[in-house]
Structure 1
């Protein structure tokens, strides 16, 4: 009995001595509710601790407790919570961001030890860059949430907002009582396959399943094409990362030492890998560079994970915070593939009485296959939707989500679904779409465009118009459009009508017939402005220059034969009826004529090697090219057939490219060249667009007068440079204003053949003088140079232009000041 007693006593004593305490929980951002990965969690007064995983979770097992648990992370206010004497307990933390300020570093003699680590990591970039693979494909899960935040009291007191705040208050907060209220407006989940091929560099994403809910979202097909992972790629092995159309320098780029300082914090175990933990800081706080923490493996100097933010002082507008967290894993061939990426973009309030915007992006990647390239034709469409992309049971999402939706995310879904049903929300969201697109959907038709409802000019006086078009609900194979307008000054009707048949969506193939009668202006080429309804409507206000009635009937066909290569052809029968004093001499009889008819056959090609195209309902929309130029070649032949009066040929070439230049910012150039063969009246020639207004525009030569020059052969280069913060970021006081330097250089060569000069008389048949056209000497190009500053008070831009040639022309001015307003980040 005595031995049994001592055995039981020993059991209880040893159990208390060897008790295992388990503390678990989650660390999140108090403002956004997002998890904070890689935060330090430690028992106060001890060395026992751990870092949170990518989802912000932690688990600490220990045999001895302290009185409290402390959580800390750079950029956040350290927080501690008391511990209780329990074997298992759950303690969650919500950390508030702190105003992070860069510190000055002073190193003793010798090189900063972090530099050698970064130098080796930079030297081995090609070994681990996924772009070095011949091909790779991944299965991705992408989640996007967009919220309205910074709901100030002034904003909440607005009558229109008060109708929804009581709904917001009735639903569980998206963070706990330490967080901030947010108003969710969009949530999406997407499962997709992403494909990459090198040489040539091609990308494609196939959306397998997508679930989209959002205020103002009526058709998920268009939205689903931009909610996948193709638009959420962040590769720190590139020198420059493009975020919000801005270029940010990578901490392991070739030029790392010019942009960053580093601090070696520790050597830590991350999973099974021993890593160097380094803090990174921009040398100049206004530069587009990161601050935060990176982990580099000791074994091979590859990136293990990153947690980086953009400093608030960076030369960006309206952006309060950008945060990127990423985990990387090796592929079977060696180069790294991001396994998880989380991005948070917080847009600040434009004014104190408005709200801000919060966008969250999460991508998880698995099922990686490398070096098995697909055929080039497979990449014909950059983003492809599977036929049943929007049809999936909840069981599918439960099986394909890396982690279940959190209670906060479920509350987001509840809130968005509720908001969509509130009339005032529907009114504002549909009104915003109406303003942006120009059309108001009503069932199977759209009414618009609104800029054409009312115009006023010296020919028509008051002009009223209305248009209709069918949408995808009517048909995904047919698009019908019509527009009718009436001018009360000239008492004439104008109209436009077209019918488009979509024959193939995968290799975009369409056939269109059209007919229109409209007032046009020599040099504006309104036929090329149909996609810009606002600019088109603005051209119909005020004094019309060299106006004429343009009547056209025709047929257009187009087909994309392979990715980026679009071929188009057509025929057009047109009529030119001038509304100003215009005459030309008929080629054979040399008789005076004031109007003419044309019959043209047309052909053209467009090629954008890496241009991203999405299908927007029944139309194609370009999201731009990544790094290659976009080419367009067009040919037209005028024939004396079906009533045509003129014989001629027109050949033109257009090239556009946006060039990311890193430290120097972004450059854009447009090359435009053409030649017209045959004797024709000058409205058929190239009438170069000038700008006599006070406002700067990229569409015109800003020191040239309207219709000042005409050419039948021409070549122009228009270049503009946005230097971002280059130069001005280094000037004291100026750098706090966040001004950005810009530059322009526009050159035009042109000439007119003698026979096209001679067919324009100086006087009309009654002997009255006629307005003719100006012309260039091909050996003496037209040149204008400009420079200026943008981002003045965040919205305004001022450009100073010098006209360098043809200063003796009537009305020519050597110096121009142009202003403009813009909304840029």
Structure 2
């Protein structure tokens, strides 16, 4: 949903009223572009650098009469500005090293030895824990943030296009970005004001949101979550900076010397502090790196100013430019604290210079720093609700007091513009279309009802043939305290109606006490997860045979009723208790049955399982961030770990239930950011069933006979190939984000991403369970002789949307219909 809302902004979306504007091209004597050249307004610290093609754009609120252009190996050049606006300048630099103020200049590819810039960099590493808020035991400060999206590269063709017919008024006020020199139209603005508290002794940090305001989309949590995740906080002193789910090597990183060239370029006083200027740029293309420069103090080795710009060759999708500026202020004559952080992202479907897209701009201002004010543990554990109505609906007086940076004329106009646009029928139609694509639901406001989801309308499998489904849910707003959802489906081959209905109610916001329940009668492919499903609405992709390998006929009729209560006594720690009653039978008895020995049956065999269970589940997700305060919340990030513990007790006799048993299950999932080597996904699962139970209640090792890559399954296992009552499994998947391919000639220009995976499982099936399930018509076995394992190699980012995995089976090749090799794939939009 977040990505679709983002794409919507592409079609319907700088900020500074500059006094001096310059743009142009820097070349050498052979008319070749000079990349990474420094352009700075004379007698100032305001500047930029040229891009890969030697192009630059620079503007300032102040008035300047000249710019100075310099780069290592060339003579510096001062250009007089004839007017306030100077566009399309061509500046020729002449080769020849020179001596700058008290520093030595180097040219060409920079050596790692005897380089004064690297000597200074080492001092930065030594002092980084003594700078900023890390210098104090406790700290707190005010934080004001504004995020804006703008439609950019606007020309007459865009203004006159049919897309904007009837909405031409939005183009009345256009401005030019100070970073790229392109015209843009502000279309979305989000403001927040918060108080941040931290304790360096305890390693605790808390951000208390005090106000939030945005233009036009106040109730759209999908967009708000996208903005929150897109612009997460970062620290330039860290070795790696995370943007758009990618880890970029910081120019201040201890590993920076391996991926950057560093040049000591200049030195001067900034705010009465003598500072050195260091230019840095990548050693190789296609890596996740920056280019830019920073000013560092000569005594504390603290950063005074820094700018970072992602190179066009970096392996990142849909983002043409990333530009970052940070300014630090001096406190107590020695400590440098972050004062202002500015980040601009140019999102586009193409990286061509003339391509159109949207700017995403975040400005964060920090003020009112206070130190060594102790707060107890309870203060940090008591997290306030960050999205209640009182915070979202702050009045103008609140913002006049707490807005740490005034809105300019364009930003002020965004609120009025969006209020006007919402009254335009054509705009509302565009918004509704994208909303349906993103959420899968058609909104009917007058009934407070959503129809859908539309993606589940059609299906096909061996038991039902062609299947159609229709559903709906109640929807009064993003923070509804209760919600009811239901669907009905019909199979044209079995000529049967199916249904599902679910309801949930939030009884207490503070503890998040929720009760829920529902009923479902349907056909499902079970065994895709080691944990049996209690979802009365969900349906797996494997339940459709349109994209499957081999016979997909091991489907199950399921009649499931559930009732649950859950509470969140501690932040991100959920306790759930509930009961379920399910009836299971084969949907295709001739091909697959659930028969088991039943002395009470006239035939001695039963084909249907009826079972009542109660379960207690503990779920802990440290680091998870959410928004919303209704019965359904939306996740902001996906970088948190998940610890899951479940105890299930089955009762016989109650509600005609068939079996007494106990089951204990545990899983731990963790994404790991491996520096510049991408992300590792890891999952460990353990489980044991105590007591004899039929096939429908055992733990099936999750196979995958679909053509889709599904994490957590074994793509070379057939459904029900391994069945266990005791198991232990591990899944590891490493996405290198193109780190390896970027070093291979030719291939490095394709921006492909390499993925490797390995997975294994050990399991056992007791003699008691084998005997009980003897009548079933499928062979029952468990991987108890040796660990079953698979490995895979994948290539991602093919045409920016496709991933293909080549999966290999490690052993048990002697099993009937064993698949030694398979190819699976997936589609998706990712940065």
Task: Go from structure 1 to structure 2 and tell me whether the alpha carbon gap of 1:795 and 1:589 turns closer, same or farther (over 3 Å shift).
Answer: same
Q: What is the aligned counterpart of 2:127 among 124, 127, 146?
A: 124
Matched residues in 2 for 1:408 and 1:466: separation? 45
Question: What is the TM-score with the length of structure 1 in the denominator?
Answer: 0.84
1:568 Cα shift? Answer: 0.7
- The gaps in structure 2 that reach 5 residues or longer are 1-16, 25-37, 49-57, 94-105
Matched residues in 1 for 2:113 and 2:733: separation? 44
Residue by residue over 1:595-622, the C-alpha shift from the partner in whole angstroms, topping out at 9 and shown as x without a partner, is 1211111101111222222227531233
Task: Go from structure 1 to structure 2 and tell me whether the alpha carbon gap of 1:232 and 1:802 turns closer, same or farther (over 3 Å shift).
Answer: closer
Q: What is the aligned counterpart of 1:736 among 721, 735, 749?
A: 749
- The gaps in structure 1 that reach 5 residues or longer are 1-23, 32-37, 43-48, 62-67, 84-90, 763-769
| Corresponding residue for residue 271 of structure 1 | 271
1:760 Cα shift? Answer: 2.1
Q: What is the aligned counterpart of 2:595 among 584, 600, 603?
A: 584
Residue by residue over 1:649-678, the C-alpha shift from the partner in whole angstroms, topping out at 9 and shown as x without a partner, is 121111111111113221111111211111
Matched residues in 2 for 1:490 and 1:369: separation? 70
| Corresponding residue for residue 369 of structure 1 | 370
Task: Go from structure 1 to structure 2 and tell me whether the alpha carbon gap of 1:744 and 1:108 turns closer, same or farther (over 3 Å shift).
Answer: closer
Greater relative contact order (CA < 8 Å, ≥ 6 in sequence): 2
| Corresponding residue for residue 765 of structure 1 | none
Contact 2:220 2:478 in 1 (8 A): no
Matched residues in 2 for 1:607 and 1:201: separation? 20
Task: Go from structure 1 to structure 2 and tell me whether the alpha carbon gap of 1:92 and 1:357 turns closer, same or farther (over 3 Å shift).
Answer: same
Residues 278-677 of structure 1: pairs in structure 2 closer than 5 A: 278-329=278-329, 336-350=336-350, 355-371=356-372, 372-376=374-378, 378-381=380-383, 384-385=386-387, 387-443=389-445, 444-473=448-477, 476-524=480-528, 527=533, 535=541, 545-581=553-589, 582-586=593-597, 588-589=599-600, 591-615=604-628, 617-624=630-637, 626=639, 629-640=641-652, 641-677=654-690
| Corresponding residue for residue 720 of structure 2 | 707
Contact 1:140 1:366 in 2 (8 A): yes
1:134 Cα shift? Answer: 4.6
Query: Does the alignment pair 1:146 with 2:149?
Result: yes
Contact 1:602 1:635 in 2 (8 A): yes
Matched residues in 2 for 1:99 and 1:533: separation? 64
Query: Does the alignment pair 1:807 with 2:800?
Result: no
Deviates more, 1:724-733 or 1:218-227: 218-227
| Corresponding residue for residue 783 of structure 1 | 789
Matched residues in 1 for 2:87 and 2:657: separation? 75
Matched residues in 1 for 2:112 and 2:539: separation? 65
Matched residues in 2 for 1:638 and 1:411: separation? 62
Matched residues in 2 for 1:611 and 1:332: separation? 36
Contact 2:132 2:338 in 1 (8 A): no
| Corresponding residue for residue 766 of structure 2 | 753
Contact 2:225 2:635 in 1 (8 A): no
Residue by residue over 1:720-742, the C-alpha shift from the partner in whole angstroms, topping out at 9 and shown as x without a partner, is 11112323222222222222221
Task: Go from structure 1 to structure 2 and tell me whether the alpha carbon gap of 1:532 and 1:552 turns closer, same or farther (over 3 Å shift).
Answer: closer
**SS of alignment partner, residue 575 of structure 2:** strand
Matched residues in 1 for 2:112 and 2:824: separation? 53
Contact 1:205 1:384 in 2 (8 A): no
| Corresponding residue for residue 137 of structure 1 | 140
Residue by residue over 1:770-808, the C-alpha shift from the partner in whole angstroms, topping out at 9 and shown as x without a partner, is 532442232411111112322233333332222110001
| Corresponding residue for residue 86 of structure 1 | none
1:239 Cα shift? Answer: 1.1
Residue by residue over 1:480-513, the C-alpha shift from the partner in whole angstroms, topping out at 9 and shown as x without a partner, is 2222233343333322223322122233221112
Deviates more, 1:135-144 or 1:380-389: 380-389
User: Whose radius of gyration is greater, 1 or 2?
Assistant: 1
Contact 1:479 1:499 in 2 (8 A): yes
Matched residues in 1 for 2:709 and 2:716: separation? 10
**SS of alignment partner, residue 172 of structure 1:** coil
Contact 1:142 1:227 in 2 (8 A): no
Contact 1:786 1:802 in 2 (8 A): yes
| Corresponding residue for residue 172 of structure 1 | 173
Matched residues in 2 for 1:537 and 1:355: separation? 41
CA-based RMSD: 3.7
**SS of alignment partner, residue 494 of structure 2:** coil
Matched residues in 1 for 2:732 and 2:289: separation? 26
Equivalent pairs, count: 762
**SS of alignment partner, residue 167 of structure 1:** helix
**SS of alignment partner, residue 287 of structure 1:** coil
Q: What is the aligned counterpart of 2:117 among 96, 114, 128?
A: 114
Matched residues in 1 for 2:202 and 2:582: separation? 42
1:550 Cα shift? Answer: 1.4
1:333 Cα shift? Answer: 12
